[in-house]
Amino acid sequence: MYYFQAPQIMELPLSHIRTLPLKNLYHPYGVEVSVLRLDELHPLVSGNKWFKLHRYLQRAEQEGKQAVLTFGGAWSNHLLATAAACREAGLKAGAIVRGERPQQLSRTLTDAAALGLRLFFVSRSDYAARIIPPEVLQGFPPTNTLIVPEGGYGPEGCAGAALIARQAATGTYSHVLVACGTGTTLAGLITGFPPETDCSGIAVLRHAGLREETARLLPPELRARLHIKSGFEEGGYARHTPALLRFMNHWYEETGIPSDFVYTGKLFYAADQLIRRGHFASGSRVLLVHTGGLQGNRSLPAGTLMF
């Protein structure tokens, strides 16, 4: 069982995390599929977010930092998780938010602000350039603030994500698939699973540099194991198609597993298509990593999803 190490940081037992076999669903294709239910870890610091954050919070404690400053969009799972984790840790938390401040905050940002996250909105161009306005630095001076990149990207995030492999029976899966945004979790899985396990990311956005950014998190000897599958973006990052939403409802009917249209819906949709196309050899044992983050579904009209 693994816990955060920093004082006051929430202790999250991991023994209750399930690996759920999807019995008979893909047996006609000769493939066994299971889902690692990281979404059941915590209601706010959900799924891979906990794993990617905790090494950063350890670093903040070790360096005597009093605050955390990070980056994200209006429906960012990362921002909500950071807000909750920092509140538990007794750390001041701030976020540079992509885009001008809207008249009404998203439900995600409303919840994060209620947890104490200070929001600073910047233009999309300044956000892309990672420009931190002077007024932000006044409240979050570099001397006592730890900067956490968007999505927890970085060596700390990768090292934390590597621990996900401990929650599955390593060595028993031929393939592991995960939704891929920044590539941090994928890099961690490649680090954590043995060489004979094929770890692949399902790209959820069109980003020409995604492979290179993910590769930077890996030592040279592991980069040959990096596989990212594209073509399943369904409109692009945080976008969706009617086909994706129909599949998410059908998947829930078949498995009882909820998903979100930003990450895990695209993961399960891609896995389903790959299996039906014969991508995996007969006898393959495939693990799908459910990375949580269902709160983004709240942006959909009521009744769109059945869960």
Amino acid 12: pLDDT: 64
Answer with the one of 119, 152, 185 that is the final residue of a domain.
152
Q: Is residue 304 part of a domain?
A: no
- CATH label of the domain that carries residue 285: 3.40.50.1100
User: Do residue 55 and residue 89 come from a single domain?
Assistant: yes
Which residue is associated with the tokens 């540099």?
209
User: Do residue 105 and residue 71 come from a single domain?
Assistant: yes
Tell me the CA end-to-end span of the chain in Å, nearest whole number: 31
User: Do residue 147 and residue 177 come from a single domain?
Assistant: no
Q: Is residue 195 part of a domain?
A: yes
Q: Is residue 13 part of a domain?
A: no
- Residue-wise pLDDT tens digits, 50-105: 999 989 999 999 999 999 999 999 999 999 999 999 999 999 999 999 999 999 99
Strand partners, 20: 35
User: Do residue 58 and residue 89 come from a single domain?
Assistant: yes
Amino acid 2: pLDDT: 31
- Residue-wise pLDDT tens digits, 112-130: 999 999 999 999 999 999 9
User: Do residue 177 and residue 281 come from a single domain?
Assistant: yes
User: Do residue 182 and residue 285 come from a single domain?
Assistant: yes
Which residue is associated with the tokens 């400053």?
69
Joined together, the tokens standing for residue 181 give 């945004």
- Residue-wise pLDDT tens digits, 131-178: 999 999 999 999 999 999 999 999 999 999 999 999 987 778 999 999
pTM: predicted TM-score of the whole model, two decimal places: 0.92
User: Do residue 26 and residue 166 come from a single domain?
Assistant: yes
Amino acid at the residue 61: E
> Could you list the residue range(s) of the whole structural domain that residue 115 is in?
49-152
Q: Is residue 10 part of a domain?
A: no
